[in-house]
Structure 1
Amino acid sequence: MDKAFKTPPKTSTLLTDINKLPQIFKDLVGKEFKLTGKTRTDGANLRKLIANQLLTNGLPEGALEGEYEIVPPKKKGVPKMVREFIDSYIITSRTSYNLQVWNRIPNCKTILVKYESGDSLKCDDIRYVLVKVDVENSIVESIFILTADYIEANFGKFGKPTIKHQLLISNKVRKQIYSSLDKILSFPDSRKLSYLVTDHYEKPEDYMAKEASVNSLYSINLLIELVAKKLIGKKLDNNTTKNRGQALERMVLDLLGYEMNEDENLAGNFPDIPNQLLEVKVQDTQTVDLGKFSPEKEELVSPENNLTTFDVRYLIALTNPATDIIEGIILAPGEKLGELFTYVSDVSYKCQRSIPMSFFDTYKGQCVVNP
């Protein structure tokens, strides 16, 4: 994407009128757009497509250095295309679309860009460009330019911010794991949990979402034999990070002996497999998304046995981003993660709003603004 988009317009009034954007983007409807299954790659490709259309139309004059200030630290919450204050999203076919907005409360007056003149651009100035993709035919099916105010008025308010904690695993550590004999980095269970686990395997009788019970928890040593060693070399579905994470979770449940139907829902809470106090993660970049809970800070997760985030076992599958093959495994209690890796110092969060797919289907083949 052209570097000009990293600079805001000279004034807020120079943003292209939102009602003119459909005319600029309409030629993208029907254009080829192939999804790779990699969320970041697909997002970057879409931004490039949109940016090229805006460039063709002509960008508003940009602000000069010293005329403005990006207010949030590390530009968190600032839209990717600052020059036109646009963020873009890809929609595929489901029953509904879950719009996730990171590091800002969408429909609020919080200042993101502050000008020396006293002018500003705020959260509620951002234009949301939602692009519906026909996956089967690999084309742009329709385009929606929406404001946060329109979204809330028609579909309800955005949910309260969901906190997202992150962990960084360096390439150096990955290489050390790949070069090791078994390609597994593991540490024993926490001292507290070591009195509750077993090294002897018996097929689980409890439902996987049921809270862990004493002496039915498999030790990390046993998990290495049952799961970790068998995951090396396995290929995950080439899809979004979320779907690959669910695919890994189902693989782990199968290896542990839990019986589940293909269409049966996963637990969807923390940890991923409560019955084994096991959190499962996929990592193909340096960042691991830890979700709502982080073992950086000790928090109670199992009151019955007084177990905390320090006791939860983390199974992190290190995948090759080009092949989706698992090339290494990290298996350690939460208390060890901070000793091995780096926590992101400032927490990210997201606000979400579900939009029914029927809304998008109504305007198939069109490019519309706040319809």
Structure 2
Amino acid sequence: MTFDLKGKDIQSNARAGVVTTDHGVIETPIFMPVGTVGTVKGVHQRELKEEINPDIILGNTYHLYLRPQIDVLEKAGGLHKFMNWDRNILTDSGGYQVYSLSANRKIKEEGVKFKSHIDGSYHTFTPENVMEIQRSIGADIIMAFDECTPYPCDYNYAKRSMHMTHRWLDRCIKHLDKIPFKYDYSQAFFPIVQGSTYKDLRKQSAEYIANAGAVGNAIGGLSVGEPAEEMYAMTEVVTDILPEDKPRYLMGVGTPINILENIALGVDMFDCVMPTRNARNGMLFTANGTINIKNLKWREDFSPIDEMGITFVDTEYSKAYLRHLFSVNELLAKQIATIHNLGFYMWLVREARKHILAGDFRTWKDKMVKQMDTRL
């Protein structure tokens, strides 16, 4: 994997780059639609390519390990072939899912024993077997196994957890050197910065991760309930330390406003379930604010869903029609809203890139944040 910086904003730390892997080019800043179990929920791969058009999507190690299971993925030739996706894929190592299973897991130095949310069976993730699982899944970018701490988090716990994450990272790197690629392309490895919302811990972790010398780096443990201002403060601490010549991935973030503010701090890559999850609940993101399409006010609004939208659903369907579909619990409602929201997120990061290269990102970003910070 390579990363080339193509431009930087004059008034902020925003930057535009190009990540190149064996599955193609990723123009940054980029938003990665979440395809947890080998699908972006409710969207055909054809629609994903032709309408939303992301350079990369995300899959999840925990969920794919449980279903369809690794033997199926290996027999299929990896996740790309299994789901018929010939562009880039990144896999989260499962650290966040283990965090979310707080009542059903036990963390030790060796790894994490957890109870399946599907059938109650017990499993163990270690840095070593998570690397093996991700080799079998075959994503282009794979993540280190880490512990994601909750918010709020006691300082001493955050410190112990951070050091364990660092030790786990060393084990991941050592084990990766022993296991070859399973398919006819290479995989890039990203370690993850932790440290909760403590500046000194974030600084220490960022330095440790930077010294690991990986081809890209990630920031974890944010967007877990902390105020946005704390997220931005921690991101700034980390991006000031992580090397400029490597992509920076902020995991699990976030709202359109969160994404723009973090681009301004020097982040290149994002993922979040928000556009798809909110879509299924009737919440539509637009450049002029958020629409709750279930509200009565849209009952007789026959204007397009979003005249500025980049996907076919934005102009082929009206707000009134989409509201009607939600009111009768029609599956198509969730599909339309999902395609719209993902299309908007892709438009947003690609517009950001244009303005970074044009040199006026900060001015454009401030205008967009004001426009989007409203309920329509």
Aligning the two structures, in what range does the TM-score lie when normalised by the shorter sequence?
under 0.3
Which fold has the larger relative contact order, with Cα–Cα distance below 8 Å and residues 6 or more apart in sequence? Answer: 1
Question: Which structure: greater helix fraction?
Answer: 2
Question: Which structure: greater strand fraction?
Answer: 1
- The structure number with the bigger radius of gyration is 1
Question: When the two structures are superposed, what TM-score results if normalisation uses the length of structure 1?
Answer: 0.25
Question: When the two structures are superposed, what TM-score results if normalisation uses the length of structure 2?
Answer: 0.25
